[in-house]
Each structure stands twice: as C-alpha cells, then as structure tokens.
Structure 1
Amino acid sequence: MTKSVVVTGANSGIGLAVALELAHAGFDVIGTVRTAEKAAALREEAERTGTAVRTVLLDVSDATSTVCAFTEVAQMTNGGPWAVVNNAGVAQPGAVEDVDDERVRRQLEINLVAPARIARLVLPQMRQRRGGRIVNISSVSGRMSIPLLGWYCASKQGLAAVTDALRMEAAPFGVRVTLIEPGAFGTGIWERGMALLPQRQQSAYRDQYEGARELLRNAGDLPGPRPVARTVLRALRARRPQPRYLVGGVARGQAALDALAPTAASDWAKSVAVGLRTPPARVSRALGLLRGQ
C-alpha cells in the first residue's frame, strides 16, 4: 500500500520541493495550504511535473483549522497519515525589543506550537499501527542565535528541543521523529520576512534594518531547496533515520564554527555581519582584498 505523507506549507519554497520530491518517489502526498487558490496552483504544478498531489486547506496557526484539516486527512488515509512533514513557518526579523507581543506569539505559534499540535493529532493512530514518521523542518538557526533574528531563532531552538523530547517519547511505539536543519536556500521566506520588520521610527536599529533590506536586494541567487527535499526523502526511506540532518555546506560550517569558537569571538563575528559593530580598519582592508575589492 502506498504510504501517505502530509506536507504542511506545501505551496512554495521547501514545502513545494518536498511535496513534489515525495510524490515523484511514489508517496501519496497530501499538501496543506491556506487557500483554495494555492491548492489549485499546487495541484497544477504537480501535474505539470508529471505527478499528483492531493490537497487540504489548513492554517497551522489556528487550532480549529488544524483539527478540521487532520480530520479530513484521516478520512483520506483510512485513519491517519503514515508520516507528517511539518514545514510551514515564518521568519520574524527585528531586534528583541522591537518585536511586539502579538508578533512574538505569531512567530512561536506557527513555528513551534503548530508542529506540536499536529503531532498530538497524528500520534495516537501511529502508535496503534506501531509505525509512522514525523519530520520537523527547523534551521541551522535552531543551533545558533543571530542578532536581529532572536525570535525566529527562539522558535527554531524551541522546535529542536521539542523534537528531541518527542523522538525519545515516540520511539518505543515504533514512531521515528527527525529534525531537518537547512542552511540558506532560495525559498522566499526572507523576502516575506522583510515585510514583517518592525516599523518603529525611534528604533536604535534603524540603520541595521536598512542594511538588511539592502543586503537582501543585492544578494546573489541562493541555491534551490531541492537538497532539503532530498534529505527529507532520505529520512523517510531510512529504516533508522538520523535524529538530525544538517543540510548544506554553509549550515555545517556555521554550526561547527558556532560550536567551536569562543562565545565572545562568535558574538563579535555575528555583530559585524549584521552591522552592529564595525571591524578595525585593517580587518576591513583584508576582507576587501579577499573579495577582490
């Protein structure tokens, strides 16, 4: 019997790449999206690439919507899906003091609470079958904190902690839980995140926010998210998936440097990167030579 996999946030970026990768690999993919228009676009894109994806409407930030969606999924899958890929997420930029409570709650609701809520809904059936998979899409930011992205990093580090606990809790029942930690890929999440930048006129970080906008405008093309999708496929196919998968050389390098470098050195490098500190002139000249400037 074909194994069913729910992929949340399947209309773009990593979610779309995962949905198509799994469908082409022979899984029965059910992609969740927030609107009927996005559902139609997802089905059309799958058909264009020579496969098929079923769709369900879901707003992961809404508990009632989530219960309704997974009730529908249970009807579509004879009780519940074999696997869930929790991909839906947002990136809230801004200094810790500039992000108001409402946006903090939205960030944590979507990136942290929603995957736990979905796990709560699918685990009973997985336990009954003595098998199933939960894959949570995190980020290298789940391992390291970056200034001006504190709340996003908090949501991903919280997701990592919950995933670690869930992995140990679910293992005795035959359910495997995995965390995927991508680096920088072209998904559109940061372009959408720029619209969420705090608009405080008196912010102490106005210059850094403008620098972030300029950096995003001038950034080179990032690689597409297919390596993340292929990692998800590998995790689902593995008899014993790894607890965590870092995806991309940048992610592995960043994680290693943050783990090995003294905290003071790591703090300084990150602060320079976002424009909070200015490196000494000799360091700036050296960096300019390395960049060919």
Structure 2
Amino acid sequence: MSPKSVVVTGAGSGIGLAVTLELAHAGFDVIGTVRSEQKAEVLRARVERTGAAVRTVLLDVADATSTVQALTEIAMMTDGGPWAVVNNAGFAQPGAIEDVDDEQVRRQLETNLVGPVRIARLVLPTMRERRAGRIVNISSISGRVSSPMLGWYCASKQGLEAVTDALRMETAPFGVKVVLIEPGAYASGIWQQGAGLLPDAQSSAYSDQYAAVDDFLRRELPGPRPVALAVLKALTAPRPLPRYLVGSGARSSAVLDAALPTAATDLAKQLATGLRTAPPRLTRAMDRVRGVLNRRTN
C-alpha cells in the first residue's frame, strides 16, 4: 500500500519544516511547498540529511494563479489530489491597528486566511469523491486571544478559525476531517520576520511602544516540534479532535482570557506590550510576591 500523501505549505523553515520532518519520518509521502527553487533545494537537502525524503512544489499561497498551478501539479503527483493538506504558510504583520496600511492588511489576510481556504477549495472535490481526506489548518493562540500591536495577525487567525469551524461541519458528511492546530509561541521565523515589518515608529503615536514590540518579536522561543507532533496526531488519530491547543502557554492564555474580566486581561496585555506601566500599588504587590517566592526558593 502506497503511503498517504500530505501537502505541507510553508515547509522551508520553522513549524513547516518541523512538520515536514515529522511526517516524512512517520512514513507519509510529504510534498512540501516553498516559494522558490532555491528554497526547494535547501528543503530537500535538509530532509535527506535526516534519512527521509520530501518532494517539493513551488507555491505562493497569497497568489491565486500560483496556487492553481501548484495544486494542478500536485494532483498529477498524487493520482488526482493529496490525501491531506497542512495549511501552515503564513506571517505576522505587527503594528498598531491604525499604523498598518491597506496593502499590508490585504497581504496579511490573503496569506493567512484566503490562501488556506483557496487550497481547501481546490483539494475538496477529490477528497469528497474518495470520501476520505484531512485538512489541518495551523492557527495560533492568537486565533482565540487578541493582543495589542498584533491586531491584524490576530484578525487573520481568528478568521481562519471561523472558516475552519464551518468547513469542519460542512465536510464531515463526505468523510473529510478538518482540524485546527493552535500553538503558543514557538520558534518559527515569523516573529523575527515580523520585526522587520513594523511600521515607521517615528511617525506613529505608538513610537514609545514599538521598541518593546521589537524585543517581544525577537525573543528566544522553544523549538516547534510539539506543534509537529500535534499535526501528526491530527493525521493519524481515527477521530481527531476539532482543535489541538499546543503548549502550556497557549492553554493558560486561553483559560485566563476566558475566565478573567476583560479589564484584567486588557491590563495584562497592555503591560506586556508597553502600552501602560504598572501603577505603584500593583508594582508593590508584585514585588511582595516575588519576595515571597525568592524566600521559598532560597
């Protein structure tokens, strides 16, 4: 029996690369998409060094023509279409809502929201005909919890969650399973890339906060293998969950955002992004807590 074919978009780095490696070593026929032949060569070499293999196709998910061409090529490679698609390609557009211009907004939504839906539209006819297939959409904890200075990224991921939920219900009668993966913060390259997309701080009303945002985007993060393992579970479980929250940070953020008053979560997010400074009473309380914790650990 030939291995099941899985398309992974944005396979060249970060989460996409981790997913590609995990699935290839699990025995799937992985077709990784990247945007240039140079990146395709690098991807194939990296996977081959681990003792696995990957086929590659060039695809820009934000371009409708490129998507149709790529999925047509993939259909020829997979006897009509892949068994599964992992929609991972994306980026994070940072900046205050009013500082991000229309062109940047369109690019953010086209890549993170419209692109995965366009791919689903192209692969679903064959999946329905086979009465089997899976679509795994890589979202984010930002798909549940909005953060200042990342509003448009959050909007793209929350939109992806909404259409994924609808798609899951629509395709279930045809044997197609649709799953959301909601990671916390992992090293994926999009955060460092996002730091380069910050709007001009000098002309912004939020110029004082942009240094904190830049530090936040460039912070060191754990490797993305937990996300790849969640994708593997979504593709191998007979009855996958509708969504997988990945990481303790994502789980705690989801719980706290749902349980605490909005005013409290707003303040916490504003403090984290430098939009507000802690009032003296809160600072003293935090110092007391830190002092107690230090005494208990010494």
**Range class of TM-score, shorter chain:** over 0.9
The residue matched to 1:55 in structure 2 has which SS? strand
The residue matched to 1:181 in structure 2 has which SS? strand
Residue of structure 1 in register with 2:281 after alignment? 282
Contact preservation (8 Å) 2:149, 2:213: no
Whole-angstrom distance in 2 between the partners of 1:6 and 1:95: 34
Unpaired segments ≥5 residues, structure 1: none
Structure 2 residue 151 is the aligned partner of structure 1 residue 137: no
Q: 1:215 to 1:74 in 2, by over 3 A?
A: closer
Whole-angstrom distance in 2 between the partners of 1:198 and 1:82: 40
Residue of structure 1 in register with 2:261 after alignment? 262
Residue of structure 2 in register with 1:173 after alignment? 174
TM-score, normalising length from structure 1?
A: 0.96
1:171-221 deviation per Cα after TM superposition (whole angstroms, max 9, x unaligned): 00000000000001111211100111011532111111112223445x3x3
Whole-angstrom distance in 2 between the partners of 1:113 and 1:209: 28
Q: Give the alignment of 1:1-293 within 5 angstroms.
A: 1-199=2-200, 201-217=202-218, 219=219, 221-288=220-287, 290=290
Report the residue type matching 1:254 in the other structure: S
Whole-angstrom distance in 1 between the partners of 2:166 and 2:280: 46
The residue matched to 1:179 in structure 2 has which SS? strand
Shift of 1:95: 0.5
Amino-acid identity (%) = 71
Report the residue type matching 1:13 in the other structure: G
**CA RMSD in angstroms, aligned pairs only:** 1.2
The residue matched to 2:90 in structure 1 has which SS? coil
Whole-angstrom distance in 2 between the partners of 1:67 and 1:270: 40
Shift of 1:284: 2.3
Contact preservation (8 Å) 1:34, 1:57: yes
Contact preservation (8 Å) 1:98, 1:200: no
Whole-angstrom distance in 1 between the partners of 2:127 and 2:96: 40
Report the residue type matching 2:278 in the other structure: P
The residue matched to 1:30 in structure 2 has which SS? strand
Whole-angstrom distance in 1 between the partners of 2:275 and 2:201: 17
1:131-156 deviation per Cα after TM superposition (whole angstroms, max 9, x unaligned): 00000000000001101111000000
